[in-house]
Chains A and B, each alone.
Chain A
């Protein structure tokens, strides 16, 4: 019973947020926190649990965003129907690039994923079908409710909350399954995991495919809300980095780490931009950078990391 107390309180708070904070900007802020929390939680499956630090997850985010808006642009169907296509594309791409790249150790994997993401951005920039440099737009005026185009952010908020719950549910289930056990073993030492009987490449690939598919859903949701994607906003390296730092800041490899990271960084960025951005001296990012540095300096395991280290020995980086 006690175990469910805090998750329960968190759930009530999340459900009540848009009813307590009623201005459109506050509600949008809440929706954005959830959107980034979905993306960072999806990243967490492979980056946190399996310890394979992808800096190219934006490829999968882009699959979702582009599938939704490309479907609308070329067929006129509601963007939300592109979501399954995006998932299929993301899982397909993950299967193709996962096999060779997941063999790479440590930073080599990170660098390979950056290269893949940049490749995707450059190719998209030169592909007419995907809107090339101009990008793709959604329906300018909603035609039916299926376009999921709302003035208020509240419908998005609850939609994103539902998807976040599903994402965290899948993660929770995985964490407790045999796969989760193997993933943690692999993260701590791949050799040891093999001796435990884990087929490391296969387990890592499963986590990678799952993570890719969920990240793609975040991309589709982004496209529904903003109704626009171009190569920089759909496939830029900054989005990959944001997923990573949100998860790392909250606590990578912890179920609620990405949500906490997003709940800190998204309001920090939006509010400091609102208060300071108009002065035009880059103060927003000085503040943003300073806070990240301080958290990394004093809580390298992330905000929730303290109780993780109590549970298991701090990991060593394998060279």
Chain B
């Protein structure tokens, strides 16, 4: 195997971990509440701008921007739940798309009005630099994002499977009425789920900002990949999103290298449709 091919594979896996990172919040809400958040990409975008503002105002790197973005986004998530999502859920499934798509436009163009259309970027040396190990070049910012992706996935998974908060949240998602009889308040649990999911999205955005460009429309670029990642992994399956993210990153890298950059997404979509054909519940979703 040539050194370049190894580089392609390593790069693809790191990219995949980042896809998994910014999809984890989406899968949580999707699985918990059967709600599809069309504003997800724009949540990531807001977190990226927060990272930029933290850098410009406080001179802070990710150690400052990640917690600030996580807390801010968690707040936005909880507000979005109480002000919009809770009411929209009374309507048909399509109302969620309507409401969250409106929210996406609102966030995107409010940011546009506040920050302008210009592209921004954080300095490259904010997170280490680039290291060469056995001829493979690793960008510290991407490695950090990859490691955090694993930690966030593990954290969310443990939260859902090993804590009482997690079991309460799952109880609500299984049967809200029964959960209520057991003394669990469904809307609190769902608000907490939105807070956690948006907080994880905040972490993702602040980290992605360290190596990606920042613009008001960047969420659009990222959102479709997040949808495909989550559906491929299986709605609600946090480990599924990780596996799917890694798979998509790897396939994108390899197909771009072997077949060409314009075909990489074609390969991903064909694979996605193919998987759904045989496993309509995604790779790791419950049937």
Contact = CB atoms under 8 A, between A and B. Distances in A.
B34 A297 contact: no
Interface string A259-291: 000000000000000000000011111101111
Contacts of A110: 36, 97
Contacts, number: 169
A309 to B, nearest CB: 9
A47 B103 CA distance: 21
A293 B108 CA distance: 14
Which size class do B's interface residues fall under? 35 or more
Contact of B266 (A53, A123, A300): A123
B154 interface: no
Interface stretch (B87-95, B141-149, B202-210): B87-95
A249 B84 CA distance: 15
B131 interface: no
Contacts of A245: 97-98, 101-102
Contact of B103 (A103, A237, A249, A289): A289
A244 interface: yes
A180 B24 CA distance: 39
A233 interface: no
B180 to A, nearest CB: 16
Contacts of B112: 281-282, 285
A53 B36 CA distance: 12
Contacts of B230: 111
Contacts of A174: none
A12 interface: no
Interface string A106-119: 11101110111011
Contact of B88 (A51, A55, A282, A296): A296
A314 B95 CA distance: 13
Contacts of B273: 100-101, 112, 115-116, 119
Interface residues of A, number: 58
A300 B88 contact: yes
A296 B83 CA distance: 11
Contacts of A48: 94
Interface centre among A48, A118, A252, A297 (most CB of B within 10 A): A297
A189 interface: no
B79 interface: no
Contact of B34 (A292, A305, A319): A319
A293 B280 contact: no
B107 to A, nearest CB: 8
B98 A285 contact: no
Given A105-B280, A108-B280, A237-B224, A288 B105 contact: yes
Interface of B: 30, 34, 36, 83-84, 87-95, 97-99, 101-110, 112-113, 117, 216, 224, 227-228, 230-231, 235, 262-263, 265-266, 269-270, 272-273, 276-277, 280-282
